[in-house]
Amino acid sequence: MQDLANKVAVITGAASGFGRELAVQCAGAGMKLVLADRDQEGLGATLALLPGATDVITAICDVSKPCDVDNLAEATYARFGAAHLLFNNAGVAVSGPTWTTTLDEWKWVLDVNLMGVVHGIRSFVPRMLAQGQPAHIVNTASAAGLVSPPGSSVYCVSKHGVVTLSECLHHELQLEGAPIGVSVLCPAFVPTGIGHSERNRPAEFADANPLGEVYAEAMRKAIAAGKLTAADVARITLEGVQAGRFYIITHPTIKKAIEIRMQDILEERLPTNTLRVNPR
């Protein structure tokens, strides 16, 4: 995946945030694009940022629904005959104490963040194997997939799941001798719309954590204070793909918190609260 020109990139969550910036940078690299999101207006706004890109298709896709992702794969291969770079990127977030987290929140977040990646793998990897060309999969996790801050249990469970899913997928593709690389993207706080995920929350999952807002506000402040932009993360991600890196950790300072968590595990001591996201 050194040369991205004329390759096909599939991006879920392309209507905003990392997905939008990945679309811009993939287009700049001369790639053909398949942009997917459930937000039609946001997809249009992303498309407006790609005036020089001619080989682009957009698709309304809810990654929590396997039939939508199957349809996305079918549309990709019908138009381009291949997929070389798959970004399983769509994501949402909620906050609050675990004991008051609602079943609606568990269902919504896990269906999008974890099962959305599962659906992407099931729909695209068999086709990638059959096409027999070098390809690469980037699963968007988070630093929250490597540490465990308070008030983020649903989000962390989903993102820890994406990390281990990606590790297993890497090992399996290696055993197959497949020319398909895998990366797991683990950014820390970046100013994107993730702190306002409720704008896309389906009505059937409206039951919210009654103690969530104070945690959500603390998280939004941390996100707003992030030093890297979504464009920075997209650039670092593409550089990681071209370098063949598995773990793409965009914020090196988070590595200390990861190290402390690993030491807690190995030394069997109580978990350390390292991120200091404190709503109190």
Whole-angstrom distance, CA of residue 152 vs CA of residue 215: 8
Question: For residue 58, what are the CA distances in angstroms to 38, 67, 83, 180, 235?
Answer: 10, 16, 15, 24, 22
Which residues lie closer than 8 Å to 162 by C-beta, 6 or more apart? 113, 114, 117, 139, 140, 141, 142, 145, 184
Residue 185: closest CA among 226, 238, 229, 231: 238
Contact yes or no for 123/67 (Cβ under 8 A): no
**Catalytic entry in 77, 155, 215, 247:** 155
Strands (E), the chain: 8-12, 32-37, 56-60, 85-88, 135-140, 180-185, 247-248
* Relative orientation angle of helices 115-131 and 153-176, to the nearest 10 degrees: 20
Sequence-separated (6 or more) residues with CB below 8 Å from residue 92: 108, 109, 112, 113, 194, 197, 200, 201
List of residues 6+ apart from 255 with CB closer than 8 A: 249
> Does residue 155 have an active-site annotation?
yes
DSSP assignment string, 34-87: EEEES-HHHHHHHHHT-TT--SEEEEE--TTSHHHHHHHHHHHHHHHS---EEE
- Catalogue the active-site residues: 155
